[in-house]
Structure 1
Amino acid sequence: MAGKSLQSIRGIHDGLPDEVRKWRRVESAARRIFGTFACSEVRLPVLEPTELFVRSIGEETDIVSKEMYCFVDQGEDHICLRPEGTAGAVRAYLQAGLTRSGAQRWFYIGPMFRRERPQKGRLRQFQQIGMELFGASGPIEDAEVLAMAQAFLTELGIAGLRLEINSLGCPECRPGYRDRLVEYLNARADRLCETCNDRITKNPMRVLDCKVASCQAALTDAPEMVGHLCDACDVHFTGLKAGLDALAVPYQLNARIVRGLDYYNRTAFEFVTDQLGAQGTVLAGGRYDGLVESLGGPATPAIGFAAGLERLAMLLEDDEAAGIDVAVVALGAESINYSLTQASGLRAAGLSVVHCGGGAAKRQFKMADREAARFVAVIGGDEMAAGKVALKNMASGEQQTLTLAEVIRAVSA
């Protein structure tokens, strides 16, 4: 490799310290908020059987036909890097025999992989947070899941988000709506893009989600699922909206929110921003009561959502506290060992500390500045003799000579 530049794979990037700090903020907020809703964290494998996604997502979808990273291993097993988390969560739920164990509230954090065209906020390896609730069928549970998602985003301090909701109906009411929609689309096929014309027979509801301007113009008065709900779905959707009102979660109806697979039903939702251009969805989810059964389990109601860490990180303010707590500057060779013990004592108290290595004072102070240290602990012969540290607050310029215990209190305040 000598003489050649090393580059990462297109669409797969390194998480460097500044970005990882933001990821950790997102992860901490997720664990904190999801925990208050009695959700437990699960760790799911990155490698899954390819068949799991063929069965759950569908062989004709773009994810399976174009985007999955699949291979055959030495044992002739067909393996893939997981493109999303829900199917793996369902597999784990069934494999663990939890279908008779009451409601299961899970969340997970980890990498997903899709070979899609890289664009702003979309990568071929991306970090995702997902939440799944198995065994709860009512609109109240749906409202609480949406409230949890809102609380999570609020905890992150992301402003300018709006919650959009829709109902996708159920196997009872959707076929009649589908027939009306197909009739409407066929009458306007010459005004629809090639992809939408292909979807008319395969997946007509996906046409409603097309972003092509000519298609949007042709869909102005398209029939909407919310106007064709059966009584049970209408009661469920009304209950969801009442629950959101009771929880003071603001929302807007968006009848164009759709999902591409038949096992999705009733509640569908997205948290959307105008800060990321055309790809403005920050967190999305919905009810998928048919998925567990489609993968060989008993009929099981379920709802979940997912959000990409990279997209969330793009919406976070820079962390003003990104620097370290203390930089230790040792003046003179005789103070090196004493300064090392002081640095060790500060770390034992949970503070982030860099020892500047001794040597020239100018070099050490430059290093402290580069590390964006909040405090600098200066230790020379006088400080060592007194068993103390000269602590300088870099924000105020104030300097005090303190014991180690007093330094810890001052820095931790």
Structure 2
Amino acid sequence: MNIKAPRGTADTLPEEAAKWQFVEETIKNICNRYHFEEIRTPLFEHTELFQRGVGDSTDIVQKEMYTFEDKGGRSLTLKPEGTAPVVRSFVEHKMHGNPKQPVKLYYFAQMFRYERPQKGRMRQLNQFGVEVMGSADPAVDAEVIDLAMTCYRELGLKSLKLVINSLGDKDSRESHRQALVDHFTPYKDELCSDCQTRLKQNPMRILDCKTDKDHPAMKDAPSVLDYLNEDSKAYFEKVKNYLSLMDIDYEVDANLVRGLDYYNHTAFEIMSEAEGFGAITTLAGGGRYNGLIEELGGPETPGIGFGMGLERLMMALEAENIEIPSGEDLDCFIVTVDDEADEASVQIIHDLRTNGIQVDRDYQDRKLKAQFKAADRYHAKYVLILGTTELKKKTINVKEMTTGDQVEVSLTELPGFLKGKLFRRKC
């Protein structure tokens, strides 16, 4: 029976996992500098959370969720996105009462979406995201965008494009909504079935339709920027000004609406312009969601965040030929000459590991020459050679592989000796 990974999923093998760990650690360090704290939410949530939080009219809720009924008859859904679960946790644990405001959180999580798998778009995907709740300051919008751009730049990406838009406040959105309904209603029968539904539920999402993107009505559709009231215009100008102060280049795209119902004011996407990256260029996207926290049972609290697909990040690094470290060389490999030394090596290895030294040995009963070859395959910095003679003297031979130099060291002094050598190398 030939069982393979389910369609739309992938294994991450050890060498690739080491690269992922490097990327994730880099991002975590950046989050720490920006004073964000990590949050972890369950892999699945009550289905109602996404129906209310993401929106019934979205493709995610209508077509892409992995939903199941548990043994108690409750409808549960594997996380398709990260914002609603974090907001649910914010409300449930009354983080709005925390004296330290705003609450600045980040997460790494697996998401699940039932859609057609293609390069960079999986059914099980990995996402990094941030959420800031408790401030309506446009400087926070700029900070969140800056954090995302910093993650990409510190990993080495250069072919980036930031696109921003303003969806306006509630009043601005309502004015624009009515303008869209008036504009698209005469063409209703020419639109796809999804857009016919969106015309009633959320007409702004028609602008984001892939099926009807070339319809003539799209070209002269009302721009949201023409319907911003004075407060919304002033807010957007401040966001743009802060980005300029941080030397962050951007383009304004009035058709950028994002795919989720909870966005208002600032919306943004970061795209890769690397040659050969592919047709789907978006690396990250997000925006402000004032109103979502109230929708999920919390007090009136503004919020903003973004989600960053890690598979797409790895693709972008590859497209720009950026080398990611795939793990350090092994510190030490112990080579044993005979059975007595083989048995004694167990305690020596344990003592070295207890002292924070990375060490491994042969477990295939190989001959001496084959053990040295194994040490080479692991790129061991030092080979520790142990035989009956050394055991009688309570010593071990330490060979530095780059120079070939070899010294005899007392077993009791071995941990300190190796620490000194390895510490100097890492410095």
What is the TM-score normalised by the length of structure 1? 0.88
Moved more, 58-67 or 177-186: 177-186
Moved more, 120-129 or 358-367: 358-367
Structure 2 counterpart SS, 1:315: helix
Please tell me whether the aligned partners of residues 191 and 215 of structure 1 are also in contact (alpha carbons under 8 angstroms). Answer: no
Residues 177-192 of structure 1: pairs in structure 2 closer than 5 A: 177-185=176-184
Equivalenced residues, count = 408
The one-letter amino acid paired with 1:50 is: T
Please tell me whether the aligned partners of residues 265 and 288 of structure 1 are also in contact (alpha carbons under 8 angstroms). Answer: yes
Gaps of 5+ in 2: 318-322
Please tell me whether the aligned partners of residues 22 and 325 of structure 2 are also in contact (alpha carbons under 8 angstroms). Answer: no
The one-letter amino acid paired with 1:292 is: I
The one-letter amino acid paired with 2:367 is: A
How far the C-alpha of 1:134 sits from its partner, in A, is: 0.8
The one-letter amino acid paired with 2:353 is: R
Cα distance in 2, alignment partners of residues 398 and 169 from structure 1: 68
Cα distance in 2, alignment partners of residues 92 and 336 from structure 1: 53
Structure 2 counterpart SS, 1:159: coil
| Counterpart in the other structure of 2:113 | 114
| Counterpart in the other structure of 2:273 | 274
How far the C-alpha of 1:186 sits from its partner, in A, is: 5.3
Change (3 A) 1:73 1:320: closer
Cα distance in 2, alignment partners of residues 391 and 189 from structure 1: 78
Residues 361-376 of structure 1: pairs in structure 2 closer than 5 A: 361-376=368-383
How far the C-alpha of 1:322 sits from its partner, in A, is: 4.6
Cα distance in 1, alignment partners of residues 212 and 421 from structure 2: 59
How far the C-alpha of 1:189 sits from its partner, in A, is: 6.7
Please tell me whether the aligned partners of residues 346 and 408 of structure 1 are also in contact (alpha carbons under 8 angstroms). Answer: no
Deviations 1:317-344 (A, max 9, x none): 3425454333222233343345444433
| Counterpart in the other structure of 1:244 | 243
| Counterpart in the other structure of 2:175 | 176
Cα distance in 2, alignment partners of residues 213 and 380 from structure 1: 75
Cα distance in 1, alignment partners of residues 420 and 330 from structure 2: 16
| Counterpart in the other structure of 1:360 | 367
The one-letter amino acid paired with 2:177 is: R
Q: Give the alignment partner of residue 61 of structure 2, picking from 64, 74, 87.
A: 64
Matched, 1:310 2:311: yes
Cα distance in 2, alignment partners of residues 9 and 307 from structure 1: 23
Change (3 A) 1:391 1:41: same
Change (3 A) 1:260 1:11: closer
Please tell me whether the aligned partners of residues 191 and 218 of structure 1 are also in contact (alpha carbons under 8 angstroms). Answer: no
Cα distance in 1, alignment partners of residues 106 and 177 from structure 2: 33
Structure 2 counterpart SS, 1:129: strand
Please tell me whether the aligned partners of residues 162 and 249 of structure 2 are also in contact (alpha carbons under 8 angstroms). Answer: yes
Gaps of 5+ in 1: none
Moved more, 208-217 or 156-165: 208-217
Change (3 A) 1:250 1:392: same
Change (3 A) 1:187 1:356: same
Residues 116-195 of structure 1: pairs in structure 2 closer than 5 A: 116-185=115-184, 195=194
RMSD: 2.8
Change (3 A) 1:76 1:321: closer
Please tell me whether the aligned partners of residues 83 and 112 of structure 1 are also in contact (alpha carbons under 8 angstroms). Answer: yes
Structure 2 counterpart SS, 1:24: helix
Please tell me whether the aligned partners of residues 163 and 270 of structure 1 are also in contact (alpha carbons under 8 angstroms). Answer: yes
What is the TM-score normalised by the length of structure 2? 0.85
The one-letter amino acid paired with 1:11 is: G
| Counterpart in the other structure of 2:350 | 344
How far the C-alpha of 1:290 sits from its partner, in A, is: 1.4
| Counterpart in the other structure of 1:401 | 407
Cα distance in 2, alignment partners of residues 375 and 338 from structure 1: 18
Q: Give the alignment partner of residue 39 of structure 1, picking from 36, 40, 46.
A: 36
Cα distance in 1, alignment partners of residues 165 and 389 from structure 2: 71
The one-letter amino acid paired with 2:373 is: K
Deviations 1:105-152 (A, max 9, x none): 112222221111111122222222221111110111111111222222
| Counterpart in the other structure of 2:320 | none
The one-letter amino acid paired with 1:57 is: V
Change (3 A) 1:121 1:376: farther
Please tell me whether the aligned partners of residues 269 and 283 of structure 2 are also in contact (alpha carbons under 8 angstroms). Answer: yes
| Counterpart in the other structure of 2:253 | 254
Cα distance in 2, alignment partners of residues 248 and 159 from structure 1: 14
Moved more, 305-314 or 328-337: 328-337
